[in-house]
Amino acid sequence: MAKIDQLLQEIRTELGGDFVATDIVGSDGISIAGTSANPGYDGSAASARFAMVMKLSSKVSDKLALGSVQENMATTADMIVLARYLGNGSYFWVIAVPKDATLGSVRMVMNEYADQLWNAIPH
């Protein structure tokens, strides 16, 4: 688990000001690792809510025959929250960034770290 924490810290450093919080979440909605730059951000609530969102996303995609879900990105007045499945889909990665973050860089960082995070989760 130390490896995941180390990777999340690296991600936080890479994103710098473009970072609010991140969590690695199981399909039960429980976070197994996370870090936040905003004391007001409730990581447990975000994990639980986005587990529901990811489950419904899969159901929606299934009903519309669009193939398996990879990611959900919500844009609000204050932030962008990306939730992406890792590995075989038993975990997903939530990352929250400010609304004015450079989204292209955030997605690049996610592409770079997704496999590393999956490999760092004890199976």
Cβ closest to another protein, residue 2 vs residue 64: 64
**Residue among 6, 16, 17, 60 that touches another protein (CB under 8 A):** 60
93: phi then psi, degrees, rounded to nearest 5: -115, 125
Is residue 123 a contact point for another protein (CB under 8 A)? no
Cβ closest to another protein, residue 47 vs residue 120: 47
Each residue of 4-20: b (16+ CB within 10 Å) or e? beebbeebbeebeebbb
Cβ closest to another protein, residue 13 vs residue 76: 76
Tokens of 121: 């989760």
Contacts of 52 (CB under 8 A, 6+ apart): 29
**Residue among 7, 15, 34, 72 that touches another protein (CB under 8 A):** 72
What count of residues does the chain have?
Answer: 123
Q: Which three-class secondary structure state does DSSP give residue 46?
A: helix
Residue 95: burial class (beta carbons within 10 Å; 0-12, 13-18, 19+): buried
Is residue 64 a contact point for another protein (CB under 8 A)? yes
Cβ closest to another protein, residue 109 vs residue 120: 109
Q: Which stretch binds another protein (CB under 8 A): 6-14, 28-36, 42-50, 112-120?
A: 42-50
Which positions lie near another protein, rule CB under 8 A? 40-42, 45-46, 49-50, 52-53, 56-57, 59-61, 63-79, 81, 96, 99
